[in-house]
Amino acid sequence: MHWIDPACLPETRGRVTQFLLNKHGDLDGLILDHARQVHFPPHLSKQAAKHIAIGDAIRARGVKPRDADLIAAVLLTSKQGVEILDEGPNHDAPKHEKPEGRPMDVQGEVVLSLYGPKGELRGALLDDGTSLRMPPHAAAELIDYLSPGAHVQAWGHGVKTRHGRTLEVHEIAELVDAEESV
């Protein structure tokens, strides 16, 4: 059971515009109204996928780190009123097979910086819906590539599921448009 009483936490409401995946293909967050990241632990992935869909108006109760536009959710409430409460991982649950990451390269414009649950920069969301993920120490050094408006190309191992696409970044570079350099 989570030690925080979700009833005492502020509530954020919005419409789900996208899911976010971790490098194993599990849901670990979503975007509300194209602008606000809501993080939840991957052990809530199955429940979130079952009760929440793109376009749904939901509620999230959680904490907001100081330096990030992010809600680290303790409780999600679906449009049908189903409560998805973080009570910690079920260590007795059967392990499910994780999709194998495959080499992938992507390019696009960054529309949103992505953060970990404590507010640490962890990547970016591209205009095609792909999330770029990396460790916080790497992200801190590459902040210019992960800020909205940046045009980037990234290489690494990626996972694609029916809920979205994510890339664990090994290399990233500024995307230079051929027409702009003439």
Q: Which CATH number does the domain housing residue 142 bear?
A: 2.40.50.140
Under a CB-based contact definition with an 8 Å cutoff, are residues 18 and 55 in contact? Answer: no
Q: Is 95 a domain residue?
A: no
Q: Which two tokens stand for residue 136?
A: 């916080």
Give residue 182's pLDDT band: very low, low, confident or very high (50, 70, 90). Answer: very low
Q: Which of 28, 51, 85 is the last residue of a domain?
A: 85
> Residue 133 — pLDDT band, cuts 50, 70, 90?
very high
**107 and 76 in one domain?**
no
**Domain assignment of residue 1, yes or no:** no
The confidence score (pLDDT) of residue 101 equals 82
The alpha carbon torsion through 113, 119, 122, 124 (nearest 10 deg) reads: -10
Write the DSSP symbol of residue 80: T
Range of the domain at 20: 6-85
Task: Report whether 174 contacts 152 (CB < 8 A).
Answer: yes
Are residues 116 and 68 both part of a single domain? no
Q: Are 113 and 165 in the same domain?
A: yes
- Last residue in a domain, options 51, 85, 119: 85
Q: What is the CATH number of the domain that holds 65?
A: 2.40.50
Residue 15: name the closest of 47, 53, 48 by CA.
53
List, in sequence order, every beta strand (DSSP E) within the chain: 11-21, 27-32, 36-39, 57-63, 70-77, 83-85, 102-115, 121-126, 131-133, 151-161, 164-174
**Cβ 121 vs Cβ 135: under 8 Å:** no
Same domain, 75 and 13: yes
- The answer to whether position 116 is within a domain reads yes
pLDDT at res. 67: 86
pLDDT per residue as tens digits for the range 165-177: 999 999 999 987 6
pTM score, whole prediction: 0.90
The reply to whether 179 falls in a domain is no
pLDDT, one tens digit per residue, over 136-157 is 999 999 999 999 999 999 999 9
Q: How many domains is the chain built from?
A: 2
Tokens of 145: 């590539």
The pLDDT tens digits for 75-120 are 999 999 999 999 888 766 666 666 668 999 999 999 999 999 999 9
Q: What is the percent of the chain with per-residue pLDDT over 70, rounded to a whole number?
A: 90
